[in-house]
C-alpha cells in the first residue's frame, strides 16, 4: 500500500487525479480502524494532514466555510455558538480522543448513514465544496451528497475541501439514540434547525434510512403550522403530527443496534421534543428582547 503525503491542496488534487483509488485519510478514526481489521485494502492512502488549509475555517459573505479537516473538538469550542446543532452532534462523537482527531470531512467521505455530522448539515442547508484538478470546484447541497449506503456523490478524482453553511439564525438541536450514555454509534438520530427569516424548519435524519435524509413532508407541515409572526405557543397536536411525519420519512432496518419499529418510534419522540425545545427557545429569545 502506497502512502501519499501531499503538502498542498493542489498536490493533493493532483495525487488524487493520478491515483483515483487512493483513500483520503485525515483523523484516521474510521479509515485506520477498517485497515487494521482488514476490512479494506486501498491501493494507496492519501494523507491530508499536511494540507494546512483544510484545518481552517472562515466567513465569506456571511456564510461559514469550514475546512474538511477541522476536528470535532474545534467545531465544539470554536463554532459552537454559530453552529450549535453541529456542535451538539460533534459532542456525541466517540470519546475525547476521537473528537480531537475525527473530522466532518471524514464523516462525509465515509458517508455512513450513521454519521453524526450529517443530520445537522442537512437541517442547516449545508453545501459541500468538492474539487478536482481537472474540473475545479463543485458545490453539492448536503441533501444531494449522500447517494447510497456509504456512498457519496464524489467523483473518483474529487476531494472534499470544505462545507458551507450559514451561521444559525435560530435555535438548533441534535438528538441521538444510543444504548449507552456515551461513545455510541447512533441507533438513530435527528437534527432540527429553525430558519425564522425564511419561516422554515430544517430537518435531518440519521441511521434511519440507507442514507441520511431530510423529512421533507414534516418540514413543509410544521413550517406552515408555526406562528412565525407572533411566536405563539406550539400546539401539542402540531408537534405530535410533526413527529409522525418525521417517523414516516424514515425507512429503517432491523439490525443488531435496534429494530426498525423502535427507530421509527424514537424518531417521532426526538422530533417532537427537539421541535418543542427549539420553538420555546425562539419564543424565549423574543420575550427576552421585549423585556430589555
Partner 1 sequence: MASPVKSPGHVAAPGIGGVGESPLRPDGTLKVAGEFAYASDLWMDGMLWGATLRSPHPRALIRSIGIGSALALPGVRAVLTHEDVPGRAMFGIDHTEDQPVLAIDQVRHQGEPVALVAADHPETARRALERIAVEYEVLEPITDPRAVVADPEGLKVQDRGGITRYQPVRVGDVDAVKGRADVVVSGEYEVGIQDQAFLGPESGLAIPAEDGGIDLYVSTQWIHNDLKQIAPCLGLREDQIHMTLAGVGGAFGGREDLSMQIHAGMLALHTGRPVKMSYNRYESFFGHVHRHPAQMRYEYGATADGRLLYADVDIVLDGGAYTSSTKNVVGNAASLGVGPYEIPNIRIDGYGVYTNNPPCGAMRGFGAVQACFAYESMMDRLGAACGLDPVEIRRRNAVTQGSRLATGQVIESPAPLAEMLTRLEAMPMPGAADASDLRNLPGGVSQTTHGEGVVRGVGYGVGIKNICFSEGFDDLATARVRLEVIGGEATALVHTAAAEVGQGLVTIQAQIARTELGVQKVTIAPADNQVGDAGSSSASRQSYMSGGAVKAACEAVRADLLALAERRLGRADLAVVGGKIMSRADGVLGTIEDVLGDAAIERTREYHHRPTTPLDPVTGQGRSHTQLALCVHRAVVDVDVDLGLVKVVELAAVQDVGKIINRTGVEGQIHGGTAQGLGLAVMEEIVVSDGLVRNPSFTDYLIPTILDMPPMRLEILENPDPEAPYGLRGAGEPPTLSSTPAIVAAVRDATGRALTRVPVRPEHIVQGGS
Distance CA 126, CA 187 (A): 23
Distance of CA 286 to the CA centre of its chain: 28
Within 13 Å, how many C-alpha atoms sit on residue 240's CB side?
3
Q: How far apart are the first and last CA of the chain?
A: 63
**With CB under 8 A as the contact rule, which of the stretches 4-12, 132-140, 232-240, 260-268 interacts with partner 1?**
260-268
Shortest approach of partner 1 to residue 266 CB, angstroms? 6
Distance CA 146, CA 165 (A): 17
Among 40, 182, 237, 291, binds partner 1 (CB under 8 A): 182
**With CB under 8 A as the contact rule, which of the stretches 13-21, 65-73, 175-183, 230-238 interacts with partner 1?**
175-183
For 290, phi then psi, to 5°, come to -65, -30
* Residue 100 in grid coordinates: 480531537
Q: Is 262 near partner 1 (CB under 8 A)?
A: yes
Shortest approach of partner 1 to residue 248 CB, angstroms? 18
Q: How many other CB atoms sit within 10 Å of the CB of residue 202?
A: 26
Q: Is 65 near partner 1 (CB under 8 A)?
A: no
Distance CA 237, CA 46 (A): 51
Show the beta-strand stretches assigned E in 196-253.
200-206
Shortest approach of partner 1 to residue 213 CB, angstroms? 20
Distance CA 18, CA 13 (A): 9
Q: Is 283 near partner 1 (CB under 8 A)?
A: no
Shortest approach of partner 1 to residue 236 CB, angstroms? 12
Q: How many other CB atoms sit within 10 Å of the CB of residue 240?
A: 13
Q: Is 184 near partner 1 (CB under 8 A)?
A: yes
**With CB under 8 A as the contact rule, which of the stretches 10-18, 33-41, 43-51, 143-151 interacts with partner 1?**
33-41
Q: Is 243 near partner 1 (CB under 8 A)?
A: no
Q: Is 110 near partner 1 (CB under 8 A)?
A: no
Q: Is 277 near partner 1 (CB under 8 A)?
A: yes
**With CB under 8 A as the contact rule, which of the stretches 2-10, 118-126, 170-178, 198-206 interacts with partner 1?**
170-178
Q: Is 31 near partner 1 (CB under 8 A)?
A: no
- In the region spanning residues 69 to 88, those forming contacts with partner 1, defined by CB under 8 A, are 88
Among 128, 168, 177, 194, binds partner 1 (CB under 8 A): 177
- Tell me what percent of the chain is helix, strand and coil, each rounded to the nearest 5: 40, 25, 35
Distance CA 205, CA 199 (A): 21
Q: Of how many residues is the chain composed? A: 292
Residues within the interface to partner 1 (CB under 8 A): 36-38, 88, 91-92, 173-185, 187, 189, 256-259, 261-262, 265-266, 269-270, 273, 277
Amino acid at each position: 500500500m502506497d502512502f501519499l503525503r501531499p503538502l498542498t491542496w493542489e498536490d493533493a488534487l493532483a495525487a488524487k487525479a493520478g491515483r483515483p483509488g487512493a483513500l483520503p485519510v485525515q483523523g484516521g478514526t474510521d479509515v485506520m480502524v477498517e485497515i487494521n481489521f482488514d476490512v479494506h485494502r486501498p491501493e494507496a492512502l492519501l494523507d491530508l494532514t499536511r494540507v494546512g488549509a483544510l484545518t481552517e475555517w472562515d466567513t465569506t459573505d456571511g456564510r461559514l466555510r469550514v475546512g474538511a479537516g477541522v476536528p470535532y473538538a474545534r467545531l465544539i469550542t470554536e463554532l459552537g455558538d454559530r453552529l450549535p446543532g453541529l456542535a451538539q452532534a460533534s459532542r456525541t462523537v466517540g470519546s475525547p480522543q476521537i473528537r480531537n482527531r475525527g473530522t466532518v470531512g471524514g464523516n462525509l467521505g465515509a458517508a455512513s448513514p450513521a454519521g453524526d455530522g450529517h443530520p445537522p448539515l442537512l437541517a442547516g442547508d449545508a453545501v459541500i465544496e468538492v474539487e478536482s484538478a481537472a474540473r475545479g470546484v463543485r458545490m453539492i447541497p448536503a441533501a444531494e451528497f449522500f447517494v447510497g449506503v456509504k456512498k457519496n456523490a464524489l467523483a473518483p478524482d474529487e476531494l472534499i475541501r470544505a462545507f458551507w453553511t450559514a451561521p444559525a439564525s435560530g435555535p438548533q438541536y441534535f438528538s441521538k439514540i444510543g444504548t449507552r450514555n456515551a461513545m455510541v454509534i447512533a441507533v438513530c438520530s435527528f437534527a432540527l434547525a429553525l430558519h425564522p427569516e425564511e419561516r422554515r424548519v430544517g430537518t435531518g435524519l440519521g441511521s434511519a434510512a440507507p442514507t441520511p435524509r431530510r423529512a421533507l413532508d414534516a418540514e413543509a407541515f410544521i413550517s406552515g403550522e408555526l406562528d412565525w409572526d407572533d411566536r405563539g405557543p406550539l400546539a401539542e397536536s402540531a408537534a405530535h403530527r410533526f413527529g409522525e411525519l418525521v417517523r414516516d420519512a424514515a425507512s429503517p432496518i432491523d439490525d443488531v443496534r435496534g429494530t426498525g419499529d423502535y427507530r421509527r418510534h424514537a424518531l417521532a419522540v426526538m422530533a417532537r421534543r427537539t421541535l418543542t425545545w427549539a420553538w420555546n427557545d425562539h419564543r424565549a429569545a423574543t420575550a427576552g428582547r421585549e423585556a430589555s
